[in-house]
Amino acid sequence: MRTRVTPPARVRARLGPDQVALLVGGFLVNIGTFAVYPYLAVLLRDRLGVGMAGVGVVLGVATLAQFASAPFTAAFAERAGLRRTLVLATCLYCLGALTYLVAAGAPALTVLALLLSCGAGALYSPAYRGYLVQSATAAQRPRLVSAGSAAGNLGIAVGPVVGALFRDDPGPLFALNTGLYAVLTVGHRLLRRERTAAEGTAVEPFRRVLRGLARVPFAVTVLTHYLYMQFYQYLALYTEDRLPAAVLGLVMTGYSLGLALLQPLLARRIGEVTYTAAIGVGFACMAVGMTAFAAGRPVAVAAGAVAMSAGTAVLFLKNDLEALARSRRSVTVTFGQQRLAVGVGALLSGVVGGALYGAFEQAGWLPGFWLAVAAQCAVLPPLALLVARGARRR
């Protein structure tokens, strides 16, 4: 289905001062989060003293806890108010950073800090996106959703560079994050309170948080993040002895900058193209990127990141737009349901991807891991569409 989109100037006019302030907040939140996240596998391995399969399970379970709770946190935000939920989320981010700071010699506290941060993310993301899009029409959504994603991705771009500066001694980073999230808590408290009924849809009971689920976008989102998260979780380990930390930080920054720039530029085209075509283009770009990582050289890794930027720019935006178009729930709850799909994909990436990475590591041929992921980018999307469409017909 092709959708007409209003000119960019009209959409920009809808951004009030509170929405602009929230975009800045989303940018800063992701700086703090992604200064830590790309290096979590290394941090957990060093602090917990377990192998990669164990690290993969911890990452997968923690990330699943974050995303699986998102439908419930979105329903909570629908009742409590988006601004209150944003303030609570930044408080949890602050507590998580403080726990990381004091947990240097305590593995259990490190896991607790990870869970606190994941809980904060579960609260923050649906409320952040819902606040931005709460009163938008279907034609205005591509630009607004891409603006919210662009702000977040700019933070993701800067975060790994900041994290690379503290890779050998993360203590000062956790201290800075504690202060940053404390300031953001106050800033979010100053946002204007929205009307929780502004979206005009009935509020369902908590037990029905998955009612009205858009099944095909949900399934494709699971697959997208299962494959994407292997890039984000394991590239730092793969390049540990192949690239300097600063080079990897620049590559990850380039990836996120490309994603932040491409989504707003392509928002109208992505909104108009058919879902099947978007899936084909997106996963083809991801397959090219994963294949390039196998070479392990700086130029190849950088080229792979560029291809990943293009693929995920299409898939991330189109999956959300398709879910909003097909869902019968409020935008906040729909975003929560999509976050659940992200979590299921991340769990699969942690459990399946971690075991697969460990198998190739033991075999002494780590480039084969990326070739195996590239093959999955080609084979799994058609299967996911068939299964999701069959379930929808039933």
Among 21-25, 218-222, 265-269, 274-278, where is mean pLDDT lowest? Answer: 265-269
Number of Cβ within a 10 Å radius of residue 261: 16
What pLDDT, in 10s, does the model give residues 30-50? 999 988 877 777 777 777 666
203 φψ region: left (φ > 0), alpha (ψ -120 to 50), beta (else) = beta
Is residue 246 domain-resident?
yes
Specify the CATH number for the domain of residue 127. 1.20.1250.20
What pLDDT, in 10s, does the model give residues 80-110? 888 999 999 999 999 999 998 887 777 788 8
Phi, psi of 88 (to 5 degrees): -60, -40
What pLDDT, in 10s, does the model give residues 326-355? 888 888 888 888 988 988 888 888 788 888
Is residue 383 domain-resident?
yes
Write down the pTM of the prediction.
0.77
pLDDT, residue 348, reads: 86
Is residue 203 domain-resident?
no
Q: Report the chain's mean pLDDT, rounded to a whole number.
A: 84
CA 130 to chain centre: 16
What integer is the mean pLDDT of 282-297?
Answer: 94
Rounded distance between C-alpha atoms, residue 260 and residue 150, angstroms:
4
Would you say residue 373 has pLDDT above 50? yes
Helices (H), 49-106: 52-68, 70-80, 82-102
Q: Which domain holds residue 325?
A: 13-196+211-393
Structural tokens at position 374: 């590239």
pLDDT, residue 5, reads: 40
Is residue 41 domain-resident?
yes
Is residue 112 domain-resident?
yes
Structural domain tally of the chain?
Answer: 1
Rounded distance between C-alpha atoms, residue 219 and residue 193, angstroms:
34
Is residue 201 domain-resident?
no
Residue scoring higher pLDDT (3 or 182):
182
Q: Which amino acid is at 53?
A: A
Is residue 322 domain-resident?
yes
Residue scoring higher pLDDT (376 or 214):
376
Structural tokens at position 284: 């083809």
What pLDDT, in 10s, does the model give residues 207-218? 677 777 888 899
Burial class (CB in 10 A: 0-12, 13-18, 19+), 169: exposed
What pLDDT, in 10s, does the model give residues 132-171? 887 666 777 788 888 888 898 888 878 877 887 887 788 8
Map residue 205 onto helix, strand or coil. coil
pLDDT, residue 7, reads: 40
Would you say residue 4 has pLDDT above 50? no
pLDDT, residue 339, reads: 86
Among 20-24, 30-34, 242-246, 370-374, where is mean pLDDT lowest? Answer: 242-246
What integer is the mean pLDDT of 256-261?
Answer: 86
What integer is the mean pLDDT of 366-381?
Answer: 94
Is residue 248 domain-resident?
yes
Residues in the chain: 394
What pLDDT, in 10s, does the model give residues 172-213? 888 999 999 999 999 999 988 875 444 445 566 666 777 778
CA neighbor of 121 nearest in space, from 144, 139, 105, 97: 97
Q: First CA to last CA across the chain, in angstroms?
A: 22
pLDDT, residue 6, reads: 40
CA neighbor of 381 nearest in space, from 217, 177, 235: 217
pLDDT, residue 282, reads: 95
Query: If DSSP states are collapsed to H, E and C, what string results for 229-259?
Result: HHHHHHHHHHCCCCCCHHHHHHHHHHHHHHH
